[in-house]
């Protein structure tokens, strides 16, 4: 981290959280020197991050929160994390979507960001089990009216989770009858050993159905998801075609990903992976 008086609150908090996770804890006086801001500003940032449940304040500093594998943050709590990375990932992922494709978007804050980037891609058919994602397309249609090329959106039924996804037998049955060209998956955690995982058992089963119904599986996940393991695994890395992530993913993790996936796309960096076949 370098000193910068002009950092926005979001940027400061992202840097603070990365430092806490990387080092296992930080002190307030260290952060004031590195960020070039006041003691009070750092304490306000730590208070905000603690309210989001992503770190724990201790005397003189902060440490990471050790989450249980069953802990499932709500949509609002997750939406404030890694905002810049999610926007970068969403823009990179949107470039993989051709006009006229049938795509599926799972629940999650990164797929929510991706939905905004897809509004101008013509003639899409979008299947989603995310109330938030469906709302993005519906709000655009209400604003612009019935325009040519607007996406056709199919929202599955199901039981609503804390992350505003619809899961359970109703969602599973609807998804099993469909076939997608591309599936964009947000994940709670991703690792070599556990593959893709979530703390919600019902969501894991619904995600399995999404994977089974897709010709190509694309995971959209920022670097903080690497190494996180939820209660239930629903896909191995070998079932994933492409991972779209941000530049914060460490080199060692990139090497591991490349051993298991056909394609790694790092937002903002040249893509030297072999391109997927046309859908």
Within 25-163, strands assigned E span 26-27, 55-58, 61-64, 102-105, 125-128, 152-155, 159-160
**DSSP designation for 205:** H
Enumerate domains of the chain plus CATH numbers. 9-64 (1.10.10.10), 75-266 (3.40.50.1360)
Q: Is the dihedral of CA 23, 28, 29, 35 positive or negative?
A: positive
Is 48 within 8 Å of 13 (Cβ atoms)? yes
pLDDT at residue number 2: 42
Write the CB contacts of 107 (distance below 8 Å, at least 6 apart in sequence): 128, 129, 130, 132, 133, 161, 163, 164, 165, 166, 186, 203
pLDDT at residue number 82: 58
Parts of the chain with a pLDDT under 70: 1-7, 65-82, 145-146, 272-279
pLDDT at residue number 5: 47
Q: Which two structure tokens, joined as six digits, stand for 157?
A: 């039924």
Helix (H) or strand (E) holding 219: strand 214-220
Q: What's the whole-model pTM score?
A: 0.72
Closest of 56, 260, 86, 101 to residue 187, by C-alpha: 86
pLDDT at residue number 3: 41
**DSSP designation for 261:** -
pLDDT at residue number 278: 55
pLDDT at residue number 10: 80
Neighbours of 193 (CB within 10 A): 10
Helix (H) or strand (E) holding 44: helix 39-51
pLDDT at residue number 21: 75
């Amino acid at each position: 981290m370098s000193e910068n008086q002009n950092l926005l609150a979001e940027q400061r908090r992202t840097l603070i959280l990365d430092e806490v996770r990387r080092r296992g804890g930080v002190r307030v006086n260290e952060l004031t020197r590195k960020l070039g801001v006041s003691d009070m500003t750092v304490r306000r940032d730590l208070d905000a991050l603690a309210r989001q449940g992503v770190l724990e304040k201790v005397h003189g500093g902060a440490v990471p929160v050790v989450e249980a594998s069953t802990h499932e943050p709500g949509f609002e709590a997750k939406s404030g994390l890694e905002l810049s990375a999610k926007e970068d990932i969403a823009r990179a992922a949107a470039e993989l979507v051709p006009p006229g494709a049938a795509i599926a978007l799972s629940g999650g804050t990164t797929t929510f960001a991706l939905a905004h980037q897809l509004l101008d891609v013509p003639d899409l058919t979008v299947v989603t089990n995310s109330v938030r994602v469906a709302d993005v397309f519906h709000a655009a249609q209400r604003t612009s009216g019935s325009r040519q090329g607007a996406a056709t959106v199919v929202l599955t039924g199901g039981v609503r989770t804390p992350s505003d996804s619809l899961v359970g037998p109703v969602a599973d049955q609807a998804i099993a009858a469909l076939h997608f060209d591309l599936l964009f998956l947000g994940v709670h955690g991703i690792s070599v050993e556990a593959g893709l995982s979530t703390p919600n058992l019902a969501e894991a089963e619904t995600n399995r159905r999404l994977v089974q119904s897709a010709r190509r599986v694309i995971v959209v996940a920022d670097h903080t998801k690497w190494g996180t393991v939820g209660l239930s695994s629903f896909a191995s890395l070998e079932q994933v075609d492409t991972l779209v992530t941000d530049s914060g993913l460490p080199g060692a993790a990139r090497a591991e990903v490349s051993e298991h996936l056909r394609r790694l796309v790092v937002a903002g960096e040249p893509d030297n992976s072999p391109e997927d076949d046309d859908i």
